Amino acid sequence: MGNKFTRRKFLTAVSVSATYLALTSALGCKPAERATKTTPSTTTSPAQPEHVLAYDSPPAPLQRAWAFRSRPDISPPAVDVTRQAHDTAPGYIFVAPKKAGAGQNGTMIVDDRGQVVWFRHPKGMGPLAMNFKVQHYRGEPVLTWWEGYYSSQGLDEYVILDRSYREITRIHAGNGYPDGDHHEFLISPQDTALIAINHLLRADLSSVGGPQDGVVWQGIVQELDIETGRVLFEWHSLEHVGIDETYSKQENPAGAAFDHFHLNSID
């Protein structure tokens, strides 16, 4: 994240926008339940559940999610620190949990002990957040991620927050493509956004043992103007890499799309 980005700088203005902030050490923020003692602790820390090897980490809630009196609407999933690492670089850990059991999906920052520093649950009932990280926009550190559904109809968005956790903007795939892919959202040194799109279209797959009237996933790269969402550049995999040049095998069932390129990353 670079030498210029520190937790002190990143959290300087947090008090002006604490809508989604949940500091576990703050007054009135307390886990709803603590794990009961089932085995002696491995250190002088509080006792841990049986499956946890803890090194100076507090116990996670028994129900695998945190609850806060100050923010009853959020329930970040609990993170177990099974072994404390040594000689690591300072800073926080960025995760984008997906709801599976207890806890909500969203974007979450935790410290080395697994304690929640910041959490945001997407608006609505089902959106997922993915690819959560720190980038730089206009010379300042920002938080960015993809938010949406695996198979949506134009509901996917790329989100940018400033260092005070205020939302700067949301952008979408352009030129009529409904969904941007969740694997890539890169802010360039020119302050433009690079995103990936996986697009279905008809194609002749006979060169790879498929049908003449087949369906293929085409990888598309777009460069977007962040302020306006205008497409500045667009690249299509099928215009540069032929279907017969793929390393993939046509082993999909009849009618399934052939993934000849599988675009995941842009640089």
**Do residues 111 and 126 touch, judged by C-beta distance below 8 A?**
no
Which of residues 132, 149, 171 is at a domain's end? 171
Average pLDDT over residues 129-158: 87
Position 59 scores a pLDDT of 52
For the ranges 38-47, 163-172, 186-195, which has the lowest average pLDDT?
38-47
In this structure, are 264 and 167 located in the same domain?
no
Name, of 75-84, 183-192, 244-253, the range with top average pLDDT.
Answer: 183-192
Strand stretches in the chain, DSSP E: 93-95, 107-110, 116-120, 128-137, 140-148, 157-161, 167-171, 185-187, 192-203, 214-225, 231-236, 258-259
Higher pLDDT among residues 187 and 252, named by residue:
187
Average pLDDT over residues 131-151: 92
Tokens read off for 211: 């049908």
In this structure, are 23 and 145 located in the same domain?
yes
Residue 11 counted as domain residue: yes
Residue 92 counted as domain residue: yes
Segments forming the whole domain that contains residue 262: 185-267
**Total of domains in the chain:** 2
| pLDDT bracket for residue 164 (50, 70, 90) | very high
The answer on pLDDT for 145 being more than 90 is yes
In this structure, are 11 and 69 located in the same domain?
yes
Position 211 scores a pLDDT of 85
Residue 65 counted as domain residue: yes
The predicted-structure confidence for 66-77, as pLDDT tens digits, reads as follows 888 998 888 899
The answer on pLDDT for 177 being more than 50 is yes
The predicted-structure confidence for 104-135, as pLDDT tens digits, reads as follows 889 999 998 889 999 998 876 567 899 999 99
Amino acid making up residue 121: H
Question: Which element (helix H / strand E) includes 9?
Answer: helix 7-10
Query: For residue 171, how many other CB atoms are within 10 A of its CB?
Result: 21
Average pLDDT over residues 204-225: 90
Pairing of strands 192-203, 107-110: unpaired
The answer on pLDDT for 157 being more than 60 is yes
- Please state, in angstroms and rounded to a whole number, the distance separating the CA atoms of residues 113 and 140: 27
In this structure, are 142 and 41 located in the same domain?
yes
In this structure, are 134 and 227 located in the same domain?
no
In this structure, are 10 and 111 located in the same domain?
yes
* DSSP H stretches of helix in 158-235: none
In this structure, are 231 and 147 located in the same domain?
no
Residue 178 counted as domain residue: no
In this structure, are 228 and 259 located in the same domain?
yes
- Please state, in angstroms and rounded to a whole number, the distance separating the CA atoms of residues 124 and 107: 14
Residue 177 counted as domain residue: no
| pLDDT bracket for residue 163 (50, 70, 90) | very high
In this structure, are 81 and 10 located in the same domain?
yes
Which of residues 104, 136, 171 is at a domain's end? 171
Question: Which element (helix H / strand E) includes 254?
Answer: none
pTM of the shown model: 0.73
Query: What is the chain's length?
Result: 267
Residue 54 counted as domain residue: yes
Pick from 29, 23, 78: nearest CA to 49: 78
In this structure, are 91 and 210 located in the same domain?
no
Long-range contacts, stretch 79-88, CB < 8 angstroms, 24+ apart? 79/110, 79/114, 80/52, 80/54, 80/114, 81/54, 81/55, 81/57, 81/112, 81/113, 81/114, 82/52, 82/53, 82/54, 83/53, 83/55, 84/55, 84/56, 84/57, 84/112, 84/113, 85/112, 88/112
In this structure, are 143 and 254 located in the same domain?
no
Tokens read off for 159: 């989100």
Residue 118 counted as domain residue: yes
Residue 180 counted as domain residue: no
Which of residues 139, 171, 203 is at a domain's end? 171
Position 123 scores a pLDDT of 73
- Please state, in angstroms and rounded to a whole number, the distance separating the CA atoms of residues 162 and 11: 11
In this structure, are 135 and 201 located in the same domain?
no
**Do residues 158 and 146 touch, judged by C-beta distance below 8 A?**
yes
